């Protein structure tokens, strides 16, 4: 009898990929999800004899082993019992076998090699092994037993399958939205996402253990949070908040993750320059969705960066109203991180669900710039002693903000005020199935000022510093001291805030007492980067203002385009501050961060969009009143795009020039088959 030899393998990619929700990936491999069966057809050179026995062997990673569950050998059986790898004979027609392969729902994800072994009890040939090929195994949010299982179909569509989205940026009084192309199905992105894991410190130190742990979304997401930044390893992106992006790209100019991941790969895995928080979050979101972990991008406004785990951030000013970069704490106008959805078998079922992950390099955790996963439910309850990085993330949304006046001439500093409410506002993410903003603040904390919120704060403080005394709330402390300031102030915007226009504000000062008051006011305006980095002073002024009993006075503030033009970064942010000094009273600090709008960039589709049919798009840019440019001129650009897939797709445009470093536009287009 002729030796039994493999003739061909049909991976039935189309049917399997449809069944496994992987049909959109542009790479041509078989891509399947764990815990769910898939079919293959195997053709031999003759019928299989009764004494011939077939075994499948699957393995992943270098030095795979059965003990680490990175390798499995299993026969063709008729039953389907058991939780390991299985092969079931579906049909046999002559020399053609159709076999159903099942993987465990807890198998490590990644590249797998499949071999088949033939042994014969009568043959002298011994064992014959043939390689069937490779396939990719991903997490399975559709499968009840998988740690990443998500029961709601609309949410799975949004958080796993959607390949474009929106990220919220700006400030509490000006929330803006930018589009982002996650692009997890695009060419090579799956391969690169798996390569990200192989470039990690963990893999390089102990590849066998690292691959064995890739069954666990907790482990994989923590590794990814370290790998998306290039601080300790061959990570994807280098952060830069200096305002000077020479040698790389201004972070505001990226439109999505695909170009970043491809650049990282083609450069030989050198970190791409440059990223800021929403860029890190956009790329991490791509890789998590690509691997099958439900994920979303979340923005926290007035986000605290507490470096010393005391749940407070210290903010400094000099007596002339200049903000100071003193101390290592800071408050970011906004900070963007990710949430991934999975079970927390290490903590218990009440901590299942959304977990915070943050790839922006801010503080080291276990020696590496990584952050999370931290259960959102645990953050809400103040369980800061649980894994991972809970004190830092809890502070981002709950820290108290302490203002200090620092006098460099004599080295003195004095505390000016405690604000228990402003940190952690309007925590935002894109809504399911639409581009509206969904506010998730109540998932992170109880309402500001409520008794539950203060109890959680005290509980967290006790866990961090058991001997520490709890600071009262601002309301309590004011009553205790009996010395609230006799004047109040705020900046009010007059008219529009647009790049190219004069900034018009008024400082409103109100005398809250019955006595006449004389106030010495020192004001400054600085351009800043969104994380509070100071760029340049652009305006200052001083005034003596008299206030009669309970009088309110408006003091005008005008900052011309010529004053801020050279120093405004792509963030379009200006920080205005007023230090108001009265005789024998503490200073009153008034501040406001302004976000200036860019001119409008409009996208229009000129015909019906259809797959593989060139589509004309027009971009219209209206030049505002900028000196040296003719105002209200319209510039139109036409270009052609080629849609490759049907459905509602997102078109993103980024326009930059010497006056405007990053103007964004976004348009949803319905593409017909």
Enter the DSSP assignment of 566.
Answer: G
Q: Do 521 and 580 touch, CB atoms closer than 8 A?
A: yes
In angstroms, the CA 585 to CA 606 distance is 65
In angstroms, the CA 468 to CA 347 distance is 26
Task: Write down the catalytic residue from 147, 163, 210, 277.
Answer: 277
- Nearest CA to 165 out of 26, 333, 301, 288 is that of 288
Is 155 annotated as ligand-binding? no
Query: Is 308 among the catalytic positions?
Result: no
Tell me: cis bond preceding 274? Omega within 30 of 0 counts: yes
Exposure of 6 in the CB half-sphere (CA atoms within 13 A): 16
Q: Do 250 and 570 touch, CB atoms closer than 8 A?
A: yes
* DSSP assignment of 48-86: PPTTEEEEEEEE-STT--TTTTSEEEEEEES---SSS-E
Locate tokens 């009568």: which residue? Answer: 122
Task: Write down the catalytic residue from 147, 233, 358, 654.
Answer: 358
Element (H, E) at 642: none
- Nearest CA to 489 out of 516, 473, 512 is that of 512
In angstroms, the CA 143 to CA 135 distance is 19
Q: What are phi and psi of 196, to 5 degrees?
A: -55, -40
Query: Is 358 among the catalytic positions?
Result: yes
* DSSP assignment of 355-412: EEE--S--S-BTTBS----EEHHHHHHT-TTSTTTHHHHHHHHH-EEEEEEEETTTTE
Q: Which residues are 326's β-sheet partners?
A: none
Is 345 annotated as ligand-binding? no
Enter the DSSP assignment of 159.
Answer: I
Rounded to 10°, the helix 217-227/189-198 angle is 90
Q: Do 613 and 643 touch, CB atoms closer than 8 A?
A: yes
In angstroms, the CA 317 to CA 666 distance is 39
Residue 41 is encoded by which pair of tokens? Answer: 């057809």
Is 633 annotated as ligand-binding? no
Query: Is 277 among the catalytic positions?
Result: yes
- Nearest CA to 260 out of 288, 284, 291 is that of 284
Task: Write down the catalytic residue from 20, 21, 335, 522.
Answer: 335
Q: Do 278 and 254 touch, CB atoms closer than 8 A?
A: no
Exposure of 528 in the CB half-sphere (CA atoms within 13 A): 28
Enter the DSSP assignment of 35.
Answer: T
Rounded to 10°, the helix 189-198/258-266 angle is 60
Q: How far is the CA of 183 from the CAs of 109, 149, 168, 180, 281, in angstroms?
A: 20, 22, 18, 9, 14
Is 448 annotated as ligand-binding? yes
For the chain, what percentages of helix, strand and coil (3-state, to nearest 5) are there? 20, 40, 40
Element (H, E) at 653: strand 647-655
Query: Binding site membership: which residues?
Result: 398, 400, 448, 453
Query: Binding site membership for Ca(2+): which residues?
Result: 398, 400, 448, 453
Q: What amino acid positions are annotated as catalytic residues?
A: 277, 335, 358
């Amino acid at each position: 009898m002729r030796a039994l030899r493999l003739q061909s393998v049909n991976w039935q990619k189309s049917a399997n990929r449809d069944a496994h929700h992987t049909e959109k990936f542009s790479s041509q491999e078989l891509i399947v999800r764990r815990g769910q069966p898939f079919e293959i057809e195997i053709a031999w050179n003759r019928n299989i004899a009764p004494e011939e026995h077939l075994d499948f062997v699957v393995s992943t990673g270098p030095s795979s082993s059965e003990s680490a569950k990175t390798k499995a050998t299993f026969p063709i059986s008729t039953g389907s019992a058991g939780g390991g790898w299985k092969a079931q004979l579906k049909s046999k027609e002559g020399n053609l076998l159709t076999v159903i392969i099942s993987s465990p729902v807890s198998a490590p994800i990644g590249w797998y090699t499949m071999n088949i072994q033939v042994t014969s009890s009568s043959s002298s040939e011994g064992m014959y092994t043939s390689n069937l090929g490779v396939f990719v195994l991903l997490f399975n949010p559709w499968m009840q037993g998988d740690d990443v299982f998500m029961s709601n179909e609309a949410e799975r569509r949004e958080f796993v399958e959607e390949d474009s989205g929106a990220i919220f940026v700006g400030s509490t009084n000006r929330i803006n939205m930018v589009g982002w192309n996650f692009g997890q199905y695009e060419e090579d992105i799956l391969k690169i996402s798996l390569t990200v894991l192989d470039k990690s410190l963990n893999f390089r130190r102990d590849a066998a253990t690292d691959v064995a742990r890739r069954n666990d979304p907790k482990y994989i997401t923590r590794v990814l949070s370290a790998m998306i930044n290039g601080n300790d390893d061959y990570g994807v992106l280098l952060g830069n908040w200096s305002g000077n992006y020479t040698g790389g790209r201004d972070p505001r100019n990226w439109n999505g993750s695909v170009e970043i991941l491809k650049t990282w790969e083609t450069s030989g895995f050198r970190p791409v320059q440059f990223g800021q928080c929403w860029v890190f979050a956009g790329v991490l979101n791509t890789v998590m969705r690509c691997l099958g972990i439900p994920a979303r991008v979340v923005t926290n406004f007035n986000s605290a960066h507490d470096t010393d785990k005391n749940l407070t951030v210290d903010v400094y000013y000099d007596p002339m109203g200049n903000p100071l970069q003193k101390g290592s704490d800071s408050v970011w106008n906004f900070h963007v991180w990710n949430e991934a959805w999975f079970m927390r078998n290490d903590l218990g079922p009440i901590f299942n669900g959304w977990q915070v992950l943050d790839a922006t390099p801010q503080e080291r955790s276990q020696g590496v710039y990584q952050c999370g996963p931290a259960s959102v439910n645990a953050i809400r309850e103040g369980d800061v002693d649980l894994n991972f990085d809970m004190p830092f993330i809890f502070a981002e949304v709950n820290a108290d903000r302490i203002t200090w006046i620092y006098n460099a001439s004599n080295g003195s500093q004095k505390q000016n005020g405690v604000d228990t409410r402003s940190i952690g506002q309007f925590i935002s993410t894109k809504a399911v199935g639409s581009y509206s903003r969904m506010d998730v603040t109540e998932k992170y904390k109880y309402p500001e000022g409520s008794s539950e919120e203060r109890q959680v704060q005290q509980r967290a403080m006790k866990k961090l510093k058991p001997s520490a005394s709890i600071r009262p709330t601002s309301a309590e402390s004011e009553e205790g001291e009996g010395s609230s300031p006799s004047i109040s102030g705020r900046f009010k915007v007059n008219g529009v805030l647009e790049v190219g226009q004069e900034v018009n504000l008024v400082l409103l000062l109100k005398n809250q007492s019955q006595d006449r008051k004389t106030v010495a006011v020192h004001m400054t305006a600085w351009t800043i980067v969104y994380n509070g980095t100071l760029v340049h002073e652009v305006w200052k002024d001083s005034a003596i203002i008299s206030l009669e009993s309970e009088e309110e006075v408006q003091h005008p503030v005008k900052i011309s385009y010529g004053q801020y033009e050279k120093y405004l970064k792509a963030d379009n942010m200006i920080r205005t501050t007023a230090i108001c000094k009265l005789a024998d009273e503490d200073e009153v600090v008034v501040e406001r961060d302004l976000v200036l709008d860019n001119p409008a960039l409009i996208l229009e589709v000129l015909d019906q969009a259809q797959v593989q049919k060139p589509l004309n798009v027009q971009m219209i840019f209206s030049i505002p009143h900028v000196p040296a440019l003719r105002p209200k001129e319209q510039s139109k650009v036409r270009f052609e795009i080629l849609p490759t897939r049907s459905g509602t797709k997102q078109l993103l445009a980024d326009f930059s020039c010497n006056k405007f470093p990053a103007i964004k536009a976004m348009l949803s287009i319905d593409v017909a088959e």
